[in-house]
Amino acid sequence: MNEAAEIIDDRGGIGLPLHDNTLRSVTILGSTGSIGCNTIDLLERHRESFTVEALTANNNIKLLAEQARKIGAKSAVTADHSRYRELKCELADTNINVSAGPEALVEAADMPAEFVMAAIVGAAGLRPTLAAVKRGAIVGLANKECLVCAGDLMIGEVERNCATLLPVDSEHNAIYQVFDFEREASVARIILTASGGPFRNADLTTMTNATPEQAVAHPNWDMGAKISVDSATMMNKGLEMIEAFHLFPVTAEKIDILVHPQSVIHSMVEYVDGSVLAQLGTPDMRTPIAYSLAWPERIATPSAKLDLAELATLTFEAPDPERFPCLRLAQEALATGGAAPIILNAANEIAVAAFLKRKIQFMDIPRLVEFCMLKVGAGEVNSIEAVMEIDGEARKIASENIDSRQ
């Protein structure tokens, strides 16, 4: 880091100032979620390297206000218009700017932060993330749906505006660290690893009768409810496959998925000479978040250090397509292209929400997604407006199907 001296902060972490002692300004879109909270944790440990421009959240107002105070954010934004007064009251004795509504999220992304953590879950994160990209920011992408729903559009804007897109998902971050972008023709394939989730060894009867509590009980990672259910269905891996297609210069046929229960190897790149490069680490999202925050430098994290001797064994297996049909649906969506990935994602979001509310069973999730993929036309998509229109139509059809069962 330009021979900068080490600074030891009051929490015991070791940090290095970035860019010749210039603080990197940061905005977090979705600060109260799992990724956002982990990002806040790292910023607290490296106060000498970062300032915070804006924090945004949906409706966890108390936590948003607490974070804004603690980290010294200039602005705090709630996506919910009706919660403006509550947030304003929570921060009344501060100089923190307060705003509310979907457009306020876009305005927050457009504030002059050098780095934007895009961690709003679902299609709601699309417009704010795009706003950050359009002003040429460094964007830490923790929202799969941005590339699943609008991959071509997003990557086109990244290139047009000279923005930097850094994947934060542990799998894509791992690939990013070991992918030779200067010699992309030498890449034979990329391998996304999957833990297999809580139902890796479960039979179909057990999965059919699974409760939301069982589905969110991930064996390795501490994540939010929606992404935990996606891990249990392995839809997360299907979405990651689509995301990888847009992030890396490989064809769909060169993207493989491998179940690795220990979650130590976060993904791999195989080269034409037979070499396989992997990024390893303990399952802690603060590692890929830190890589993105400090890029192209590195900062220390409190993540447990990997002890391979203690671990002793790493195992691998192919995913079971019968018990995890979401993988097939994602592959079909990627092959079809156009609106198909948007429909896949929208229907899945509605289905997972319904499952968490106990309106449908666990194995109804892929059934509902497939129903919507057959029902909604999968034409071409050439604008964000078209993306949102198709997204809305798929959600409507999925919701109507669920309501008809009640």
What does the pLDDT look like over 91-110, one tens digit per residue? 999 999 999 999 999 999 99
Pair of tokens at residue 400: 């109507």
With respect to residue 375, please indicate whether it lies within any of the assigned structural domains: yes
Same domain, 87 and 140: yes
pLDDT at res. 298:
96
Same domain, 72 and 205: no
**Is 395 in contact with 122 (CB distance < 8 Å)?**
no
pLDDT at res. 222:
64
CB atoms within 10 A of CB 302: 13
**pLDDT tens per residue across span 105-158:** 999 999 999 999 999 987 789 999 999 999 999 999 998 889 999 999 999 999
Of the candidates 60, 29, 218, 53, which has an alpha carbon nearest to the alpha carbon of residue 128? 29
Pair of tokens at residue 73: 């954010």
With respect to residue 327, please indicate whether it lies within any of the assigned structural domains: no
How many structural domains is the chain composed of? 3
Full domain range(s) for residue 239:
181-282+305-322
pLDDT at res. 205:
95
With respect to residue 300, please indicate whether it lies within any of the assigned structural domains: no
pLDDT at res. 12:
29
pLDDT at res. 17:
42
Beta bridge partners of 115: 26, 138
**Is 68 in contact with 91 (CB distance < 8 Å)?**
yes
Residue spans of the chain under pLDDT 50 = 1-17
Q: Is the pTM higher than 0.75? A: yes
**Is 123 in contact with 349 (CB distance < 8 Å)?**
yes
Residue 97: strand, helix, or coil = strand
Same domain, 275 and 344: no
Same domain, 13 and 150: yes
Last residue of a domain, one of 291, 322, 353: 322
Q: Is 330 left (phi over 0), alpha (psi -120 to 50) or beta?
A: alpha
In angstroms, the CA 393 to CA 265 distance is 38
Same domain, 37 and 76: yes
Same domain, 269 and 362: no
Taking each helix axis from N to C terminus, what angle separates 235-247 and 325-336, rounded to the nearest 10 degrees? 30
Same domain, 221 and 259: yes
Last residue of a domain, one of 290, 322, 354: 322
Residue 193: strand, helix, or coil = strand
pLDDT at res. 267:
97
Beta bridge partners of 161: none
Same domain, 144 and 243: no
Same domain, 117 and 198: no
With respect to residue 57, please indicate whether it lies within any of the assigned structural domains: yes
CATH number at residue 385: 1.10.1740.10
With respect to residue 290, please indicate whether it lies within any of the assigned structural domains: no
Same domain, 389 and 272: no
| Burial class of residue 318 (count of CB atoms within 10 Å of its CB; 0-12, 13-18, 19+) | exposed
In angstroms, the CA 58 to CA 197 distance is 27
Phi and psi at residue 59, to the nearest 5°? -135, 10
With respect to residue 77, please indicate whether it lies within any of the assigned structural domains: yes
With respect to residue 364, please indicate whether it lies within any of the assigned structural domains: yes
Last residue of a domain, one of 322, 353, 384: 322
CATH number at residue 90: 3.40.50.720
Same domain, 200 and 78: no
Same domain, 20 and 117: yes
In angstroms, the CA 67 to CA 194 distance is 32
With respect to residue 86, please indicate whether it lies within any of the assigned structural domains: yes
